Each structure stands twice: as structure tokens, then as C-alpha cells.
């Protein structure tokens, strides 16, 4: 289906995302120090760590919201370290925020439609919903992928918190994402909403890789194949979910930070 999304040339074997020696300073504070992380195409990774560990700063460096002070970031082989955020989005990088960024007065369907429209070609032509079948079709598919079909005509302001977070995932899926950064998507969710989130994440197309920041280990370790544990702005440990879960040093850090 042609929804007007940017086209990507086929990807050479290599990393989806590669950070080398990334440091980010805020004045005298080093939010990140010499962070090196490699994520394969399609790989799903959790980034864990207590408050202030540098997890969101890591995302900000990758998206370009706050570029690194030093170090390099490659996205599918291309050095994007100094690219503005929109150039990264054009290349298929997406993120969700710790704090919601939706249009509360619009319906679920309109939010998703606008997101699809925003990443498509011809986005500056007059907006006439209903005239662009491909975009409408893409929007409906995304709404279904995040389990919101039943509430698609509702205004976002009327949705439950969990449904709003599901909608944010739909927005991140608009266009042709190759990699998504999820910042605490389970924050504030009920147990039922958490199960729904896990189902949505594990049902994403296999070629879409992601990094998920998540304090809830029960959610994080169910939806990833690898884990990076951060502490004080540095990579503290990397491993498979069951290795990280069983690691005494990780357990101590988590217990110490109140994330038991």
C-alpha cells in the first residue's frame, strides 16, 4: 500500500542503532557518560535504571531533541549524530514521550489520520478527510493494531489513560517506522491495561525494532529479547532478560531504588 511514506533503500547487514561513546552534559552534570550500545534491526531492547540514570537523555540524544556533547550515533549505518529531529523521523525513527503529546479535542481517528498525513508526502495540500483512501486505510489499520477500534470516534480527552497510551503507540507507528523509542509506556497503567500493552508490543511487525524504557520489570522483560541496565549515566550491565533478572547487582540496584 502506498500511504505516501518515505521509501528506504534496502538495509545492509549491520546495526539498526549504534551509539559509540555518547556523552551528554548539562552544564557540569554528565547525564550520559561514554555510552556504547548496539541494537540489531528488528531487535527489541529494554533500558532499565533508576530515576536519573540517563534513560530519557539517551532517547533525546538518539532523536536529536538534545544531541550528544560527544560521541556518535548511527541509524542503519548512517551517521545521524548532528541531524535535526525531522531528518531522523524521515529515516524511520519514532519515539513516544513520558508525557502525552496528543490532540485531546480530536477523535482517535483524527489523531491517527493526522499523524499518517504528517509523515506522508503532499502534507501541505488542503486537508480533506475521506478523499485519501490510502491514508484512511493506513489509519484504520493502526487503530486496530493498538486495539482502539471500538473507541475510534471518541475524543481523546474522553479516553482512559491506558487508551491514550495505546493511541500514542499508533502515532509512533504512522509512516514507515523502522525503530521506535518507547519512554515508560506502562506508566500509570492498570494491570489490565498493562496486559493489553504487552499484547500490542509483542504483536508489532517483526521488522520494527524498539527500545523500551520501563520501570516495571514484569512488563519490560516480557516484551524484549535484550536488556541494557543503566546507572549514573553509564551502561551498567547488558544481557538477556533472564540473566538481568537473576543478576544480584541488578537486584540490589533495583531494591535500593525502590523498584522491587
**Which residue lies nearer to ligand ATP by CB, 42 or 52?**
52
Q: Which stretch binds ligand ATP (CB under 6 A): 23-31, 103-111, 120-128, 198-206?
A: 23-31
| Nearer residue to ligand ATP within complex by CB, 33 or 72 | 33
Q: How far is the CB of 63 from Mg ion (least distance, A)?
A: 13
Output the smallest distance, CB 57 to Mg ion, in A. 8
Cα–Cα distance for residue pair 32/140, rounded to 1 Å: 39
Question: Of 56 and 166, which CB lies nearer to ligand ATP in the complex structure?
Answer: 56
Of 56, 63, 111, 164, the one binding ligand ATP by CB under 6 A: 56
CA gap 78, 227 in Å, rounded: 24
Taking CB atoms, the residue at the shortest distance from Mg ion is 56
Q: Binding residue for ligand ATP (CB under 6 A) from 54, 68, 92, 185?
A: 54
Is residue 63 near ligand ATP by the rule CB under 6 A? no
Rounded to a whole number of angstroms, the minimum distance from the CB of residue 62 to ligand ATP is 12
Give 33 or 107: the residue with its C-beta nearer to Mg ion: 33
Considering the complex, state which of residue 3 and residue 56 has its C-beta at the smaller distance from Mg ion.
56
Q: Which does 86 bind (CB under 5 to 8 A by kind): ligand ATP, Mg ion, none?
A: none
Least distance from C-beta 222 to ligand ATP, angstroms? 19
Least distance between Mg ion and beta carbon 51 (Å): 8
- 221: contact with ligand ATP by CB under 6 A: no
Among 16, 46, 49, 179, binds ligand ATP (CB under 6 A): 49
Do the Cβ atoms of 161 and 129 come closer than 8 Å? no
Exposed e or buried b for every residue in 115-124, given b needs 16+ CB within 10 A?
bbbebbeeee
Interface stretch with ligand ATP, choices 24-32, 33-41, 160-168, 171-179 (CB under 6 A):
24-32
Distance of alpha carbon 203 from alpha carbon 99, whole angstroms:
24
Please state the closest distance from residue 38 (CB atom) to ligand ATP, in A. 20
Q: Interface with ligand ATP includes 37 (CB under 6 A)?
A: no
Asked if 185 interacts with ligand ATP (CB under 6 A), we say no
- State the Cα torsion 95-193-152-105 to the nearest 10°: -70
- Cell readout for 180 is 521506535
Binding site for ligand ATP (CB under 6 A): 26, 29, 31, 49, 51-57
Amino acid at each position: 500500500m502506498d500511504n505516501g511514506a518515505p521509501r528506504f533503500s534496502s538495509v545492509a547487514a549491520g546495526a539498526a542503532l549504534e551509539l559509540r561513546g555518547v556523552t551528554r552534559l548539562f552544564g557540569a552534570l554528565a547525564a550520559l557518560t561514554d555510552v556504547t550500545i548496539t541494537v540489531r534491526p528488528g531487535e527489541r531492547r529494554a533500558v532499565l535504571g533508576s530515576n536519573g540514570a540517563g534513560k530519557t537523555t539517551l532517547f533525546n540524544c538518539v532523536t536529536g531533541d538534545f544531541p550528544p556533547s560527544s560521541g556518535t550515533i548511527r541509524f542503519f549505518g548512517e551517521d545521524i549524530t548532528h541531524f535535526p529531529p525531522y531528518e531522523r523521523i524521515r529515516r524511520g525513527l519514532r519515539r513516544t514521550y513520558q508525557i502525552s503529546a496528543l490532540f485531546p479535542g480530536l477523535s482517535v481517528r483524527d489523531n491517527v489520520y493526522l499523524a499518517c498525513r504528517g509523515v506522508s508526502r503532499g502534507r501541505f495540500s488542503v486537508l480533506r478527510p475521506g478523499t485519501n483512501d490510502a491514508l484512511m486505510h493506513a489509519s484504520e489499520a493502526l487503530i486496530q493494531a493498538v486495539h482502539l477500534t471500538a473507541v475510534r470516534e471518541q475524543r481523546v480527552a474522553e479516553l482512559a489513560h491506558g487508551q491514550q497510551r495505546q493511541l500514542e503507540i499508533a502515532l509512533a507507528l504512522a509512516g514507515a517506522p523502522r525503530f521506535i523509542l518507547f519512554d515508560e509506556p506502562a506508566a500509570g497503567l492498570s494491570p489490565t491495561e498493562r496486559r493489553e500493552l504487552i499484547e500490542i508490543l509483542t504483536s508489532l511487525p517483526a521488522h520494527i525494532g524498539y527500545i523500551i524504557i520501563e520501570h516495571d520489570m514484569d512488563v519490560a522483560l516480557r516484551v524484549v529479547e535484550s536488556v541494557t541496565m543503566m546507572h549514573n549515566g553509564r551502561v551498567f550491565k547488558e544481557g538477556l532478560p533472564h540473566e538481568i533478572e537473576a543478576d544480584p547487582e541488578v537486584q540490589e540496584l533495583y531494591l535500593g531504588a525502590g523498584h522491587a
